[in-house]
């Protein structure tokens, strides 16, 4: 058996506001019940009962496009296509749960900082401090830009914009209200102390602002900050601001990515352990290894190359089917202005052929290789990857039927038996779940802390 990690792993549960990709494989018509609020509240309750740290709902306005138009296979097969608005679900999930962390994505390309600041602060109040923001520059940017009637912004400029966005959001969260600014004294009629509520001033390369976030401080003040997108620019953004990052398990370079993020965070004075690195973990378990492998292969057999190509186009904007399948992708794809994580990982000296990339996407999608076998084997593999990569936990992908039931029934108890997950979630807030009791606010080493109580900021 693998050497058992001494860490207490963070366990986040992944779902997608999109209709589940497995809908046709489950053989159940009711698999598309993702438009029912009840589906989501029940999912959140199950995550809470199982003791997960948080539920994460991924989101994007983008969908697969090529040559400025939606890919028909994406519509026909529902490849990264139909969705509901994840953020809209959050207050319902806050009402349905008491301890579970709740994380969702808003792309910095879509909503402006005062909107993001107000929404997440409101949600942090409603959930009593259990909210996290997954900061992305957005998957499928080509589709999203077309939808919003905007030109596609170059990749690294989007990350420069994200940096400016987060700076302003942090100023609004951390810089507007002193801790004792809110008075609410009905005898004197004083709501708040004007000397302790500050206007922030921001004059950045992409956003300008002079004003106040009028929603008073919530338990975490700043929501717990997550980040996804492992291109070089993405890792820099993570190292600067993120408290947790989502990384695909597929990448041969996972250990390097994690070491790079930790190194960059350390260079910024945040410390190597300032960021929880969470691996997108897929568990495919059965009574025997053969059975698990056969079920996984049956699932792969239901996925066409066109489906895999549409998925790839969603994440990269690259049309794999336009290339020679028996050669590597042209190096020019590195300049794609869509997401780069899934281009960068298939270029370089050991570059696979296009056919191999398509096969990888058929078999493992974007999240990477599953942990496969009996529950003991799968957990051994998962813990070995934690050891190899120095990661801090998992963002668990759904079971083949779209639920997390198998994970909760089999894998969670095994993780618990091995003593690698928390018996009880520390603290009441999401940040405490991840960093320990008392860690409610951003640590002093985070750049957001510099915006506290300093009056007018420039
Ligand atoms: C586990 C995981 C979850 C992700 N969730 C989202 C998401 O909700 N929305 C999104 O636009 N991108 C999400 N991404 C990131 C995209 O895949 C994509 O890499 C990114 O948005 C573009 O950045 P890049 O150029 O750095 O790749 C996720 C990635 C991973 C590994």
What CA–CA distance (Å, rounded) separates 181 from 195? 8
Bridge partners of 248, per DSSP, are 280
What CA–CA distance (Å, rounded) separates 293 from 321? 28
Q: How far apart are the two ends of the chain, measured CA to CA in Å?
A: 56
> In 229-345, which ranges are E strands?
244-248, 276-281, 283-285
Nearest partner of 155 among 229, 219, 243, 238, judged by Cα? 229
pLDDT digits (tens, 9 = 90+) for 262-320: 999 999 999 999 999 999 999 999 999 999 999 999 989 988 999 999 999 999 999 99
CB of 249 closer than 8 Å to CB of 395: no
pLDDT digits (tens, 9 = 90+) for 7-60: 899 999 999 876 666 666 655 555 557 889 999 999 999 999 999 999 999 999
CB of 192 closer than 8 Å to CB of 181: yes
pLDDT digits (tens, 9 = 90+) for 108-154: 999 999 999 999 999 999 999 999 999 999 999 999 999 999 999 99
pLDDT band at 400; cut points 50, 70, 90: confident
> In 283-334, which ranges are E strands?
283-285
CB of 159 closer than 8 Å to CB of 234: yes
Give residues with Cβ within 8 angstroms of 441, minimum separation 6: 220, 221, 222, 431
Tell me which residue has its CA closest to atom 5 in ligand 1: 58
Q: Is 262 in the pocket of ligand 1 (CB under 6 A)?
A: no
pLDDT digits (tens, 9 = 90+) for 174-195: 999 999 999 999 999 999 999 9
User: What value does the mean pLDDT of the chain take?
Assistant: 93
Report strand pairing: 69-70 vs 65-66.
antiparallel
What CA–CA distance (Å, rounded) separates 148 from 267? 37
Q: Which CATH superfamily is domain 10-294+368-451 in?
A: Luciferase-like domain (3.20.20.30)
pLDDT band at 365; cut points 50, 70, 90: confident
- Residue 219 in this model has a pLDDT that exceeds 50: yes
Nearest partner of 443 among 287, 232, 241, judged by Cα? 241
What CA–CA distance (Å, rounded) separates 52 from 404? 11
Distance 83 CA to ligand 1 centre (A): 16
Q: Is 315 in the pocket of ligand 1 (CB under 6 A)?
A: yes
CB of 77 closer than 8 Å to CB of 310: yes
Res 211: pLDDT: 97
Instruction: Give the residue extent of every domain in the chain.
Output: 10-294+368-451
DSSP per-residue string spanning 410-421: IIHHHHHHTT-B
Res 251: pLDDT: 61
Q: Is 285 in the pocket of ligand 1 (CB under 6 A)?
A: no
What CA–CA distance (Å, rounded) separates 332 from 329? 8
- Burial tier of 298 (Cβ tally within 10 Å: 0-12, 13-18, 19+): exposed
What CA–CA distance (Å, rounded) separates 440 from 429? 6
Ligand 1 atom closest to residue 155's alpha carbon, by position in its atom list = 25
Res 401: pLDDT: 83
Ligand 1 atom closest to residue 248's alpha carbon, by position in its atom list = 31
Bridge partners of 54, per DSSP, are 12, 101
DSSP per-residue string spanning 17-47: SBPPTTTTTTT-GGGGGGGSHHHHHHHHHHH
- Residue 249 in this model has a pLDDT that exceeds 90: no
CB of 213 closer than 8 Å to CB of 117: yes
Q: Is 107 in the pocket of ligand 1 (CB under 6 A)?
A: yes
Q: Is 368 in the pocket of ligand 1 (CB under 6 A)?
A: no
Alpha-carbon dihedral sign for residues 356, 358, 363, 366: positive
């Amino acid at each position: 058996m693998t050497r058992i990690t001494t860490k207490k792993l963070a366990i986040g549960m992944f779902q997608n506001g999109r209709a589940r990709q497995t809908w046709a494989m489950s053989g159940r018509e009711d698999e598309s019940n993702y438009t029912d609020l009840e589906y989501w509240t029940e999912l959140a309750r199950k995550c809470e009962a199982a003791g997960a740290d948080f539920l994460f709902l991924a989101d994007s306005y983008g969908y697969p496009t090529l040559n400025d138009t939606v890919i028909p296979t994406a519509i026909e097969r529902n490849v990264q296509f139909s969705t509901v608005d994840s953020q809209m679900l959050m207050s319902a999930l806050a009402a349905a749960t008491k301890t579970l962390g709740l994380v969702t994505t808003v792309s910095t390309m879509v909503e402006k900082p005062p909107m993001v600041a107000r929404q997440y602060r409101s949600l942090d109040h409603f959930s009593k401090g259990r909210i996290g923001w997954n900061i992305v520059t957005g998957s499928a940017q080509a589709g999203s830009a077309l939808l919003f009637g905007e030109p596609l912004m170059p990749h690294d400029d989007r990350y420069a914009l994200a940096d400016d966005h987060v700076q302003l959001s942090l100023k609004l969260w951390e810089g507007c209200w002193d801790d004792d600014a809110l008075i609410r004294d009905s005898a004197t009629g004083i709501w708040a102390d004007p000397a302790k509520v500050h206007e922030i001033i921001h004059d950045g390369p992409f956003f300008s602002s002079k004003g106040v976030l009028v929603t008073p401080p919530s338990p975490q003040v700043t929501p717990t900050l997550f980040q996804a997108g492992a291109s070089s620019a993405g890792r820099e953004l993570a190292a600067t601001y993120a408290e947790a990052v989502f990384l695909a398990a597929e990448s041969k370079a996972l250990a390097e990515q994690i070491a790079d993020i930790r190194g960059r965070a350390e260079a910024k004075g945040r410390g190597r352990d300032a960021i929880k690195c969470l691996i997108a973990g897929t568990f495919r378990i059965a009574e025997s290894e053969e059975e698990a492998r056969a079920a996984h292969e049956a699932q792969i057999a239901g996925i066409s190359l066109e489906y895999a190509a549409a998925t790839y186009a969603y994440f990269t904007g690259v049309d794999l089917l336009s290339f020679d399948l028996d050669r590597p992708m042209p190096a020019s794809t590195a300049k794609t202005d869509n997401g780069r994580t899934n281009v960068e990982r298939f270029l370089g000296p050991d570059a696979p052929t296009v056919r191999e990339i398509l096969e990888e996407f058929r078999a493992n999608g974007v999240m990477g290789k599953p942990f496969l076998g009996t529950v003991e084997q799968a957990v051994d593999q998962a813990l070995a990857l934690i050891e190899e990569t120095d990661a801090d936990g998992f963002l668990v992908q759904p079971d083949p039927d779209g639920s997390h039931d198998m994970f909760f029934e089999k894998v969670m108890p095994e993780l618990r038996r091995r003593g690698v997950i928390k018996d009880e979630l520390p603290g009441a807030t999401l940040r405490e779940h991840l960093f320990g009791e008392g860690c409610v606010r951003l640590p002093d080493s985070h750049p957001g802390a510099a915006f506290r109580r300093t009056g007018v900021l420039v």
